[in-house]
């Protein structure tokens, strides 16, 4: 390893090596906190409809089966947001896309609070979803590019658990907010929080130094950013580089790179895994409070149980990220998906025991949300800088079809008189499919970008 003096004398510095060699700085922790808050408010807004649905149905006098379009509208918007934002971020920068996405989902969430009909709410939730779908993968991408290789999965997974914590918080606080202030209050919270946070993003969040280097950005701007991480190492440096600049295919279109020989198999397997995982998560997120109400649970208990499921991902984030940095990350995630299916099946068999039911729902949340939270970290370490935002965002976008399917299939199954037990038992199928897909990736496409 070169000494600091040697690096200083060299006018060109390998920026990733600098990040890897330096201890984590307060600046990197600050970036982590901002990105955590972005995905936290994203999580609150994404899950809001599931917690609002019972009160909305009662307030507007609509049947639960009519809520299918509203429940899945934001998820449909998230598909478009993710698919459009990835290539845009790889071309124009992660920070710009983050700012625009937060303004979009914050503004339309506020508007949703004043919707007067299901049709209007469907449109507003779709537009909210466009912003939600763009924000989460780009926050993940930007933060991952400031992480040293040795703890990248741990840090990114912990940052991303803000998404699960946001969804859980939505469940915990909706239990008293909605009875006290009406269902509109959760939309108001989901609107104002990201708009306030946007001010912080504009003025203090840096652009990805890797993006600036690969795009030939101002070397002085890169130096100012890196000087906040390792000031002594960058003194006298006039140029910076990262390994991707010399990699094969560096000049390809970012979307085309996902289907190059190096990435094609892994891309498809990541999409399949994320799709199946979101089928499980969004069927439960969208319908668990309503299903609990059908078993006779109070509104407060139903929303608490929904929040408990999401909180499970926060509990497991540290262990999943730690294990990914030390073992084959694909197989670590595969194990969590399979266990999640087993617990979901067990939940369906435990309706008569409220205490056991709560414990099993928490365990199911630990497994499935732990696995799903780790997928952006797995994707970010799989792709290189030129296509990283596109890779993470398109995995999220294509996977969102699974979220839409999960939300819709809940309405269909309930409309066909499926029981709580039947629905939860069926979830073993997509959970196992996700486990198999990511395990196969460990065999055919287990590579990390430099």
pLDDT above 80: residue 150: yes
pLDDT, tens digit, 9 for 90 and up, residues 80-118: 999 999 889 888 889 999 999 999 999 999 999 998 888
Please say whether the beta carbons of 222 and 194 come within 8 A: no
What pLDDT, on a 0 to 100 scale, did the predictor assign at position 412? 80
- Is the pLDDT score of 3 beyond 60? no
Bigger pLDDT: 31 or 349? Answer: 31
pLDDT on residue 421: 76
Model confidence band, residue 335 (pLDDT cutoffs 50, 70, 90) = very high
Give pLDDT, residue 5.
44
Percent share of the chain, pLDDT over 90: 26
Residue 39, both tokens: 């995905």
Whether the per-residue pLDDT at 2 is higher than 50: the answer is: no
Map out the domains of the chain as residue ranges. 11-245, 260-443
- Residue ranges with strand state E in 214-263: 239-241
- Say if domain 11-245 classifies as CATH 1.20.140.10: no
Angle between helices 26-60 and 118-144 (to 10 degrees): 170
pLDDT in tens, 364-395: 888 888 898 889 889 988 888 888 888 988 99
What does the longest C-alpha to C-alpha distance in the chain come to?
73
pLDDT score recorded for residue 4: 45
Measured CA to CA, the distance from residue 364 to residue 288 in angstroms comes to 13
> Residue 65: its pLDDT value, please?
65
Model confidence pLDDT, tens digit, residues 45-68? 887 887 787 788 888 877 766 777
- pLDDT at site 298: 64
d(CA 191, CA 108): 7
The tens digit of pLDDT for each residue in 200-244 reads 999 999 998 888 888 876 788 888 888 898 888 887 777 888 776
Per-residue pLDDT band for 290 (boundaries 50, 70, 90) equals: low
Q: Supply the DSSP string of 53-93, one letter for each residue.
A: HHHHHHHHT--GGGGHHHHHHHHHHHHHHHHHHHHHHHHH-
Local structure of 271: helix, strand or coil: helix
Residue pLDDT, tens place only, 270-286: 999 999 998 888 787 76
Q: What is the mean pLDDT of the chain?
A: 83
The dihedral built from the CA positions of residue 105, 77, 284 and 179, taken in this order, carries a sign that is positive
What are the structure tokens assigned to 33, written together? Answer: 């906190």
pTM of the full structure: 0.78
pLDDT-derived band at 192 (thresholds 50, 70, 90) equals very high
How many other C-beta atoms are found inside a 10 Å radius of the C-beta of residue 265? 15
Per the CB < 8 A criterion, the answer to whether 82 and 393 are in contact is yes
The backbone torsions φ and ψ at residue 157, rounded to the nearest 5 degrees and listed phi first, read -65, -40
CATH for 260-443 is 1.20.1250.20
- The residues near 274 (Cβ < 8 Å, ≥ 6 apart) are 372, 375, 395, 396, 398, 399, 402, 434
Section 297-318 average pLDDT: 70
Contact 369, 164 (CB under 8 A): yes
Is residue 307 within 8 A of residue 169, CB to CB? The reply is yes
| pLDDT band at residue 446 under the 50/70/90 scheme | low
Q: Indicate the pairing of strand 12-14 with strand 239-241.
A: parallel
> Could you check whether 11-245 and 260-443 share the same CATH topology?
yes
């Amino acid at each position: 390893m070169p000494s600091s003096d040697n690096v200083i004398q060299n006018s060109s510095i390998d920026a990733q090596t600098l990040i890897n060699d330096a201890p984590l700085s307060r600046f990197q922790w600050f970036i982590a906190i901002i990105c955590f808050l972005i995905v936290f408010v994203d999580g609150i807004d994404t899950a809001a409809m599931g917690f609002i649905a019972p009160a909305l149905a009662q307030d507007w006098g609509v049947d639960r089966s009519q809520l299918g379009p509203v429940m899945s509208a934001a998820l449909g918007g998230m598909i478009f947001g993710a698919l459009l934002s990835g290539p845009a971020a790889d071309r124009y920068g992660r920070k710009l896309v983050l700012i625009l996405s937060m303004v979009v989902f914050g503004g339309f969430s506020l508007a949703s609070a004043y919707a007067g009909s299901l049709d209007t709410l469907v449109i507003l939730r779709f537009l909210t979803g466009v912003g939600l779908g763009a924000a989460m993968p780009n926050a993940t991408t930007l933060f991952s590019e400031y992480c040293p290789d040795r703890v990248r999965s741990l840090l990114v997974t912990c940052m991303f658990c803000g998404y699960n914590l946001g969804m859980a918080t939505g469940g915990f606080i909706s239990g008293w907010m909605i009875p006290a202030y009406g269902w509109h209050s959760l939309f108001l919270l989901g609107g104002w929080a990201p708009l306030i946070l946007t001010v912080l993003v504009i003025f203090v969040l840096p652009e990805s130094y890797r993006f600036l280097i690969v795009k030939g950005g101002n070397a002085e701007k890169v130096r100012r950013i890196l000087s906040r991480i390792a000031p002594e190492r960058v003194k006298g440096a006039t140029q910076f580089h990262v390994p991707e600049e010399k990699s094969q295919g560096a000049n390809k279109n970012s979307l085309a790179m996902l289907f190059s020989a190096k990435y094609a198999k892994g891309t498809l397997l990541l999409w399949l895994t994320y799709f199946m995982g979101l089928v499980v998560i969004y069927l439960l997120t969208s319908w668990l409070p309503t299903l609990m109400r059908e078993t006779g649970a109070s509104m407060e208990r139903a929303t608490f149980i929904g929040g408990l499921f999401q909180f499970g991902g926060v509990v497991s984030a540290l262990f999943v990220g730690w294990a990914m940095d030390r073992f084959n990350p694909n197989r670590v995630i595969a194990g969590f998906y399979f266990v999640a299916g087993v617990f979901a099946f067990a939940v369906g068999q435990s309706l008569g025991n409220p205490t056991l039911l709560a414990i099993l729902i928490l365990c199911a949340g630990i497994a499935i949300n732990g696995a799903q939270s780790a997928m952006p970290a797995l994707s970010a370490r799989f792709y290189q800088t030129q296509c990283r935002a596109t890779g993470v965002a398109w995995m999220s976008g294509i996977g969102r079809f699974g979220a839409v399917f999960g939300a819709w299939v809940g309405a269909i199954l309930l409309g066909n008189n499926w029981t709580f037990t039947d629905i939860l038992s069926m979830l073993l199928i997509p959970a196992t499919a996700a486990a198999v897909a990511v395990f196969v990736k460990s065999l055919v496409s287990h590579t990390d970008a430099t």
